Structure 1
Amino acid sequence: MLRKNKIIYTSGTFDMFHSNHLKMIKYARGLGETLIVGVSSDELVCSYKKAPIIPFEERLAIVDALKYPDVVIPQRSLDHSLLVKKLNIDAFVVGDDWEGKYDYLRELGVEVFYFPYGDGVSSSKLKEDIFLKYKELKDISDKHTNPTILKTE
């Protein structure tokens, strides 16, 4: 179990901020005294998946406005080795969709926690739902017959 004087780091894209993001940040907050949250830059995100909907500066501002983080920083790399050393990080929290990817941090003395997102909301799911709802509305609005034109004399 972590002592309360630990420095905790969590990170993510935090696109289309939702309740699972908040739950993970809140969980990380409870693990130590200082919580640093990294927000992935647009360039970093684009290196492994589609571009975020919400621009980087806005995602940074949203996370910074939360009550849980002590510090919010840009994250420009998926390799946290240097960051861990520079910031003296004791524990790292990330969503379980990254299970196993950060185990290498344990070799640096960092405790790694894979937060269980479980079923429910995700940015990818939100984007898909919005797309499908938009497509449905567009299909409905585009399907109409032109009115009969009555000739007036």
Structure 2
Amino acid sequence: MKWIKLIVSLALPQIAGIIGSLFTIKSIPAWYAALNKPAINPPNWIFGPVWITLYVMMGISFYLIWIKKDVPGFGFLFSVFIFQLILNALWSIIFFGLKSPGFAFLEIIFLWLAILMCIIFFYKVSKTASLLLLPYLLWVSFASALNYFLWQMN
């Protein structure tokens, strides 16, 4: 049973990433490549490995919550986790699919808040699960700044 929970926990964030990447991949060669970029913009090759690592950390974090016995409010924790995954995928759809950095910036603020909610609520159940989400929050903080600059520069 624990193996199934681990596989599902690891798969959920990867699925969100795959959904987002369907919109990202199409836009990078033409639209994104043509944008004016700020000095803080990392090379394109860095995003894939960072996101894959973060998705694995998200999955492990959720797994640590899921395997706890009798977690009060597990349904709520699951909902918050899924909500932030939806927002994660939605950001790529808005930014790359709709080519709307302004709307994406507004959306990423809600993503940041949803991640923070996960960190706070997960902490009450597992400090390790909560800490595993901190790099995600930091990366989305950086991504928010990058999104803002891309919006303002284009």
Quickly name the TM-score band, shorter chain normalised: under 0.3
- Answer 1 or 2: which has greater helix percent: 2
Structure with more relative contact order (C-alpha pairs < 8 Å, separation 6 or more) = 2
Give the TM-score taking structure 1 as reference length.
Answer: 0.23
In terms of Rg, which structure is larger? 1
- Answer 1 or 2: which has greater strand percent: 1
